[in-house]
Amino acid sequence: MQKYWFIILLLLVAGQTVIGSSKVPKDPNELLLAKWDVVIKDPNDPNKLLLAKWDAVVKLIQAKDVDQKVKEDIIDKMVSPLFDFSLMGKLALGKTNWKKLTSSQRVKYAKLFTKRLKTSYREKIKLFKDEKVFFKPAVHKKKSLHIPMSLISSDKKIAILYKLRKVEKRWKIYDVEIQGVSIILTYRSQFNDTLKHNTVAEFINQLKKSPTP
């Protein structure tokens, strides 16, 4: 299941990056970003957005003429706009633990948590092979939106559920469930256990370490 957790994080690339700026990219990777990213007519249609971006990422992953590190850089540039990392970090820590952090500790934690997510999918991105993806229509849940998805390989079918909320008129993912297990709640369980036996400072220092493969 851990493999699929990281494969699913490939959808972090489903960013809402706007291509076609009048500015000429100075970074060579910006040119590649423009080549591999796609423009969505209606970025507020989450189903079309996720599907189109997923297809773009898969093509990039499978490209043999692009260096692995360059792929990671491009994906990283496409990643941030779709995910609400700020909310994910707060939810993963929980209200009680969040209150224990000082303002400076919250800033450090937010950066480390976001880096941890990105590092995780970078390390596991090469695991993607020939899995097929099927999205189902979005379902409205009060102020949130749920998008079911199936990840199918030759011998398994994994149920995925994306949870989104609107942030400044854009739908952003704040949690992902795999086979009914929430990534955010999994992190919260780990963080709760760590903070029971360590100070906040020690907890933050532990976050600086590379995630367990």
Q: Where are the domains of the chain?
A: 2-207
pLDDT at 28: 66
pLDDT at 200: 96
Task: Specify burial of residue 156 (Cβ count, 10 A radius: 0-12, 13-18, 19+).
Answer: exposed
pLDDT at 16: 37
**Which tens digits make up the pLDDT trace of 33-66?**
777 776 776 767 788 887 877 777 778 888 888 8
pLDDT at 86: 93
At 107, which amino acid appears?
Answer: V
The tokens of 156 are what? 């398994």
**Which tens digits make up the pLDDT trace of 124-153?**
665 666 778 888 889 998 889 999 988 888
Spatial distance between the Cα atoms of 11 and 132, rounded to a whole number of angstroms: 13
Q: Classify domain 2-207 at the CATH topology level.
A: Nuclear Transport Factor 2; Chain: A, (3.10.450)
Buried b (16+ CB within 10 A) or exposed e, 162-193: bbbbeeeebbbbbbbbbeeebbbeebbeebee
| Residue 111 vs residue 135, higher pLDDT | 111
pTM summary value: 0.78
